[in-house]
Structure 1
Amino acid sequence: MATSDAAGAISWRPLAVLGLAQFLMVLDTSVMNVSISQLVDDFDTDVTAIQSVITLYTLVMAAFMITGGKLGDLWGRRRAFVVGMVIYGVGTTLTAVAPTLLVLVLGWSVIEGLGAVLVLPSLAALVGANYTGSARATAYGVIGGVAGAGIAVGPLLGGWVTTYLTWRLVFAGEAVLVVVILLLTPWIRDVEGAARRTRLDGVGAALSAAGMALVVLGVLQSSTWGWLRPRDTPVEIFGFAPTLFVVAAGAALLACFLAWIRRRQAAGRQPLVEPELLAAPPLRAGLSMLFVQNLVLLGVFFAIPLYVQVVLGLDAFETGLRLLPASVGMLVAAMCGSFLGRRAGPRLIVQIAVATVVAAVLWLVSTVRPSLDEVSFSLALALFGIGMGLLASQLGYVVQGSVGEKERSEVGGLQYTAQNLGSSLGTALVGAVLIAALSGTFTDRISADPRISDAVEQQATVRISAGITFVSTTDLRAALDRTAVPPAEVDAIVDGYAEAQLRSLRAALLAAAVFAAAGFLATRRLPTGVPTPLGTAD
Structure 2
Amino acid sequence: MRHWRALAVLGTAQFLMVLDTSVMNVSISRLVDDFDTEVTAIQAVITLYALVMAAFMIIGGRLGDILGRRRVFLGGLAVYATGSAITAVAPTLWVLVLGWSVIEGLGAALVLPAMAALVAESYRGRDRAVAYGVVGGLAGAGIAVGPLLGGWVTTYLTWRLVFAGEVVVVLAVLLLRGAITESPGARTRPRLDGVGAVLSAAGLALGVLGVLQSGTWGWVQPRNPPFTVLGFAPTLFVIGAGVAVLAAFRRWERRRDERGDDPLVHLSLLRRPALRSGLMSLVSQNLILLGLFFTIPLYLQVVQGFDAFETGLRLLPVSATMLVTSLGAARLGRLAGPRRVVRLALLTVTASVVWLLATIDPVIDDAQFAGAMALLGVGMGLFASQLGNVVQSSAEENERSEAGGLQYTAQNLGSALGTALIGSLLIGSLAQAFTSHVEDDARLSQEARQQVGVALEAGVTFVPTDQVRAAATRAGLPPEEVDAVTDSYASAQLDGLKAAILATGGITLASFLVTPHLPGPAPGRPRPGGQDAAGRRRP
Report the TM-score, using the length of structure 1 for normalisation: 0.97
| CA displacement at 1:534 relative to structure 2 | 6.3
User: How do 1:276-291 residues align onto structure 2 when only pairs under 5 Å count?
Assistant: 276-291=268-283
Residue among 350, 353, 362 paired with 2:345: 353
SS of corresponding position for 1:519? helix
SS of corresponding position for 1:52? helix
SS of corresponding position for 2:329? helix
Provide the residue aligned with 2:523 in structure 1.
530
| CA displacement at 1:133 relative to structure 2 | 1.0
Provide the residue aligned with 2:45 in structure 1.
53
Provide the residue aligned with 2:529 in structure 1.
none
Residue among 15, 19, 29 paired with 1:23: 15
Provide the residue aligned with 2:401 in structure 1.
409
- Please give the alpha-carbon distance, in whole angstroms, between the structure 1 residues aligned to 2:271 and 2:144: 35
| CA displacement at 1:198 relative to structure 2 | 2.2
Structure 1 residue 375 corresponds to structure 2 residue 375: no
Provide the residue aligned with 2:324 in structure 1.
332
Q: Deviations 1:193-234 (Å, cap 9, x if unpaired)? A: 077422101111111110000010000000110001111111
Structure 1 residue 511 corresponds to structure 2 residue 503: yes
Question: Which consecutive unaligned segments of at least 5 residues does structure 2 have?
Answer: 525-531
Equivalent residue letter for 2:523: V
Provide the residue aligned with 2:528 in structure 1.
none
Q: 1:195 to 1:91 in 2, by over 3 A?
A: farther
Provide the residue aligned with 1:3 in structure 2.
none
- Please give the alpha-carbon distance, in whole angstroms, between the structure 2 residues aligned to 1:463 and 1:242: 22
Point out the more displaced range, 309-318 or 472-481.
472-481
Provide the residue aligned with 2:113 in structure 1.
121
Structure 1 residue 394 corresponds to structure 2 residue 395: no
Equivalent residues of 2:274, 2:535 under 8 A apart: no
- Please give the alpha-carbon distance, in whole angstroms, between the structure 1 residues aligned to 2:179 and 2:187: 19
Equivalent residues of 1:358, 1:516 under 8 A apart: yes
- Please give the alpha-carbon distance, in whole angstroms, between the structure 1 residues aligned to 2:93 and 2:53: 20
Residue among 217, 230, 234 paired with 1:238: 230
Structure 1 residue 427 corresponds to structure 2 residue 427: no
- Please give the alpha-carbon distance, in whole angstroms, between the structure 1 residues aligned to 2:243 and 2:494: 33
Provide the residue aligned with 2:148 in structure 1.
156
Provide the residue aligned with 1:5 in structure 2.
none
Q: Deviations 1:464-519 (Å, cap 9, x if unpaired)? A: 12310000001211222222111110000000000000010000000011111111
- Please give the alpha-carbon distance, in whole angstroms, between the structure 2 residues aligned to 1:47 and 1:397: 36
Q: 1:24 to 1:194 in 2, by over 3 A?
A: farther
Provide the residue aligned with 1:36 in structure 2.
28
Residue among 206, 225, 244 paired with 2:198: 206
Equivalent residue letter for 1:407: E
- Please give the alpha-carbon distance, in whole angstroms, between the structure 2 residues aligned to 1:390 and 1:30: 19
Provide the residue aligned with 1:308 in structure 2.
300
Provide the residue aligned with 2:175 in structure 1.
183
Q: Deviations 1:386-410 (Å, cap 9, x if unpaired)? A: 0000000000000000111100000
Q: 1:379 to 1:521 in 2, by over 3 A?
A: same
SS of corresponding position for 1:11? helix
Provide the residue aligned with 2:215 in structure 1.
223
- Please give the alpha-carbon distance, in whole angstroms, between the structure 2 residues aligned to 1:194 and 1:152: 41
Equivalent residues of 2:273, 2:535 under 8 A apart: no
- Please give the alpha-carbon distance, in whole angstroms, between the structure 1 residues aligned to 2:354 and 2:247: 35
Residue among 55, 60, 64 paired with 1:72: 64
Equivalent residues of 1:10, 1:135 under 8 A apart: no
Equivalent residue letter for 1:426: G
- Please give the alpha-carbon distance, in whole angstroms, between the structure 1 residues aligned to 2:112 and 2:348: 27
Report the TM-score, using the length of structure 2 for normalisation: 0.97
Aligned length in residues: 530
Provide the residue aligned with 2:472 in structure 1.
480
Structure 1 residue 253 corresponds to structure 2 residue 245: yes
Point out the more displaced range, 50-59 or 361-370.
361-370
Runs of at least 4 residues off by over 4 Å: 531-536
Residue among 446, 458, 464 paired with 2:456: 464
Equivalent residues of 1:43, 1:100 under 8 A apart: yes
- Please give the alpha-carbon distance, in whole angstroms, between the structure 2 residues aligned to 1:346 and 1:209: 31
Structure 1 residue 197 corresponds to structure 2 residue 189: yes
Q: Deviations 1:268-306 (Å, cap 9, x if unpaired)? A: 111111011011110000000000000000000000000
What is the percentage of aligned positions where both structures have the same residue?
Answer: 62
- Please give the alpha-carbon distance, in whole angstroms, between the structure 2 residues aligned to 1:66 and 1:51: 24
- Please give the alpha-carbon distance, in whole angstroms, between the structure 2 residues aligned to 1:480 and 1:277: 57
Provide the residue aligned with 1:265 in structure 2.
257
Equivalent residues of 1:77, 1:191 under 8 A apart: no
- Please give the alpha-carbon distance, in whole angstroms, between the structure 2 residues aligned to 1:197 and 1:350: 36
- Please give the alpha-carbon distance, in whole angstroms, between the structure 2 residues aligned to 1:417 and 1:307: 29
Equivalent residues of 1:144, 1:392 under 8 A apart: yes
- Please give the alpha-carbon distance, in whole angstroms, between the structure 2 residues aligned to 1:198 and 1:404: 16
